Amino acid sequence: MVHISDGILAPWIWGSGWVITAAILAYTLSKMKIDDVPKISVITAAVFVASLIHFQAGPTSVHLILSGFAGVTLGILAYPCIFIAVVMQAFLFQHGGVTTIGINTVNMGVPALISFLIFKAGMKLNVGISKNEILFGAIAGGTAVALAVLLLAVELLVTGEEFTEVTTFVVAAHIPVILVEAIFTGVIAGFFAIVKPEMLSIKKRL
Amino acid sequence: MRIIKSLSLLVLVLVLCMVLIPSVSAHRVQLRELISEVEIKAWYGGGDPMPNADVEIYSIRDEQEKLYLEGKTDENGLYYFAPELGTTSYRVVVELTGHKGELEFDLTAGSQPENAELPLYLSVLVGFGFLAGIGGIAAYLSARKMKAQ
């Protein structure tokens, strides 16, 4: 649902999507080490197929995004991860469009970066529970979807979609996705914290 | 007198026969094919129908395109329309909040099979293949770097 097809948005919107994506990609890739690539590949594989897990929500069909999961596990490298996933979804699943790869990456990648910041901030906090990862993983996972939907809604409204249509079809339909991804990301962050802490972007300071 | 009467009766019978013959031959069966309704089906990848989506039908005549009909799909993602007289080429655009599909077809050419795309599990495998390749090359490079140190 958060993948916009070709020919819907005004050219200046998807054009600026490409510009933003190119800029963030250039920055994040400059920070990437070759040792990170196998881990990125594994997470990208998960993000890539997540969009196939879809269910009927009210009047429309929605699917998982897993951008929060990418942010929590990869940190800023979630951006190239989302970009590759979006490219492959566009060409292999005809999910979204080719001209909109840039803007779709912004819609999912920027929330992934923000979810990473939330997770990072949460790891420094002492909230009096033993597993910060679960709580802040869940918050990061849910926030990432909510922000992605918000960005999409704004772009559709700017393009001239009707407000009621956008809010009911896009925003309301994604409430179950927000919940599912919050639970998923929280559980998986807690699991990695115990079993394989190096899979997380940030380690808890003890 | 009797002869004249029977002759006139004969003439009457002949005339009646002549009148009746065409109506007998008109029992030839006539058939004509006419497509009175076209069904448009819209669904998402994975098979969920696309209900309540905006549909635009453009008729194409002499390579000139004009908006013919507008409407919405029903709850099963279906939309029916009657074709324009004499026009067989159409372009259909279905759109719903950021999702858009297009189809160009000709009524005389017949319908395309639904699953013309690569099967889903193959697409997934192809994707995994790419990623495994990228990951593998990177793992190889980083292993070589470690060895060199």
Binned average pLDDT, 10 residues per bin, chain B of 149 residues: 82 79 66 78 77 85 83 85 81 82 78 65 84 86 85
**Cα atoms in the 13 Å half-sphere on the side-chain side of A104:** 27
Does pLDDT of A206 surpass 80?
no
CATH 2.60.40.1120 fits B38-133, yes or no: yes
- In tens, the pLDDT along A103-150 reads 999 999 999 999 999 998 888 887 777 778 889 999 999 999 999 998
Give SS3 for A201.
coil
- Which of A76, A73, A54 minimizes the C-alpha distance to A65? A54
Domain ranges within chain A, ordered by starting residue: 11-199
B44 touches chain A (CB under 8 A): yes
Contact B50, B44 (CB under 8 A): yes
What mean pLDDT value characterizes chain A? 86
Query: What's the gap in Å between the CA of A152 and the closest CA on chain B?
Result: 8
Which string of DSSP letters, residue by residue, matches B13-79? HHHHHHHHHHHHHTT----------EEEE-B-TTS-B-TT-EEEEEEEETTEEEEEEEEE--TTSEE
Cβ separation of A34 and B117 shorter than 8 Å? no
ipTM: 0.70
Span B23-59, pLDDT tens digits = 555 667 778 777 778 888 888 766 677 888 888 888 8
On chain B, the residues whose CB falls within 8 A of the CB of A5 are 98-101
DSSP B97: T
Residue of chain A whose alpha carbon sits nearest to that of B136: A38
Task: Considering the domain delimited by A11-199, tell me its CATH architecture.
Answer: Orthogonal Bundle (1.10)
